[in-house]
Amino acid sequence: MLFFKPLAGIVIVLTLALLQGCVVTRGTVGEPIQEEAVSAIKKGKTTMAEVVSSIGAPDRIVRGNDREIFHYYYYDGKSPAMMLILLNFIRMDVKSDNLYVFFNRDGIAEEVVYGKRTDRTRFKLWPFGD
């Protein structure tokens, strides 16, 4: 039993020594878009009020081609960093999800455009390469 205590101490000291200078940051903007709510929007049926009640008020309202377009967005950023005494590596990866719901003049959804990128956001420290 006595053997394990120094070993545990060494492991803790080594872990702390290896992790010193490590910085991990995560930042998000907005709320994640619920895919179930997106797939529940039926073209030609779902009303503007129903969209607002299931997803919430849009982040932006755009007017285009004489239509109202609701825009919902969500940003997710991951940033690992290694701040050593002589050498620093900092990397940040930010991606966004966007949902557009196009309404006709009667306030009925006629098109839904959704793109998800945030599932590909990664904590990648190495700044070189793609």
Which residues make up the interface to another protein (CB under 8 A)? 62-66, 69, 71, 73, 79, 85-100, 111, 113-117, 120, 127-128
**Exposure of 15 by Cβ count < 10 A (0-12 exposed, 13-18 middle, 19+ buried)?**
exposed
Q: How far is the CB of 34 from another protein (least distance, A)?
A: 15
Q: Identify which of residues 7 and 90 has a Cβ nearer to another protein in the complex.
A: 90
Q: How far is the CB of 29 from another protein (least distance, A)?
A: 12
Rounded distance between C-alpha atoms, residue 25 and residue 93, angstroms: 11
Of 71, 40, 74, the residue nearest 57 (C-alpha): 71
Q: How far is the CB of 47 from another protein (least distance, A)?
A: 21
Q: Identify which of residues 17 and 86 has a Cβ nearer to another protein in the complex.
A: 86
Q: Identify which of residues 34 and 96 has a Cβ nearer to another protein in the complex.
A: 96
Of 27, 93, 101, the residue nearest 62 (C-alpha): 101
Q: Identify which of residues 11 and 31 has a Cβ nearer to another protein in the complex.
A: 31
Q: Which two tokens stand for residue 117?
A: 């990128």
What pairs with residue 60 in β-bridges?
71
